[in-house]
């Protein structure tokens, strides 16, 4: 039996990483993964070693990293295991459209990934006011990435919400405490017939 593919989207600080681990622990035999990956392309994107490149070039690199990642995900799903992925296609569209601003071509951002993605069984958008998400990031004491600026994240959030409406993402209020967010996600998985509690 094929495994389930669950994707978590949202700006930094919304609890995606914590939620991914909790879901994997609940399911048992699950793989937690994230994007950009730790592969050669993903690592270069994470580290910033590519320097200041045009948003369109960066989007293509994210799509290339995802194409490799998707092939790996497919193998895991075929083995019957679940995959919980922290960021997927939606992140590229939301972040790169915000980077491109008024010049953003949403259809191009979606279309150029057509052969680099597989359809998740469920995509959850962990939604939160960017002011609160940045407060959470600050509380971790980590260096902020170049994406973690308030006005930029507001544009990213709007992009995510448009994608949620278009593709049927399940929008979760991530401003709630972690247990409440986890409960909301489990309830949505039950409603979709993807998880049945014992």
**Residue-range domain boundaries for the chain:** 5-191
Contact 2, 8 (CB under 8 A): no
| pLDDT band at residue 75 under the 50/70/90 scheme | very high
Binding site for ATP: residue ranges? 10-17
159: which 2 tokens? 């992009």
Is the whole model's pTM more than 0.95, yes or no? no
The pLDDT mean for the chain works out to: 92
Question: What tens digit of pLDDT does each residue of 133-156 get?
Answer: 888 877 776 665 666 788 999 999
Domain 5-191 has CATH 3.40.50.300: yes
pLDDT of residue 110: 95
Q: Tokens 């799509």: give the residue.
A: 63
The 3-state DSSP class for residue 123 equals strand
pLDDT digits (tens, 9 = 90+) for 48-62: 888 888 989 999 999
List, as residue ranges, the binding site. 10-17
């Amino acid at each position: 039996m094929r495994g389930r593919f669950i994707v978590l989207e949202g700006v930094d600080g919304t609890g995606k990483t914590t939620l991914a681990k909790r879901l994997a622990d609940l399911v048992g035999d699950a793989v937690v993964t994230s994007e950009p990956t730790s592969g050669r392309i993903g690592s270069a994107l994470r580290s910033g070693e590519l320097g200041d490149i045009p948003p369109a070039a960066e989007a293509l690199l994210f799509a290339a990293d995802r194409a490799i990642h998707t092939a790996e995900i497919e193998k895991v799903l075929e083995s019957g295991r679940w995959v919980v992925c922290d960021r997927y296609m939606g992140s590229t569209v939301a972040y790169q459209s915000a980077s491109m601003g008024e010049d953003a071509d949403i259809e191009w951002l979606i279309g150029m990934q057509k052969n680099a993605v597989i359809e998740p069984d469920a995509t959850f958008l962990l939604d939160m006011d960017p002011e609160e998400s940045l407060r959470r990031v600050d509380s971790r004491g980590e260096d902020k990435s170049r994406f973690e600026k308030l006005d930029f994240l507001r544009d990213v959030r709007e992009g995510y919400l448009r994608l949620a409406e278009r593709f049927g993402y399940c929008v979760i209020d991530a401003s709630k405490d972690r247990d409440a967010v986890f409960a909301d996600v489990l309830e949505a998985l039950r409603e979709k017939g993807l998880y049945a509690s014992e």
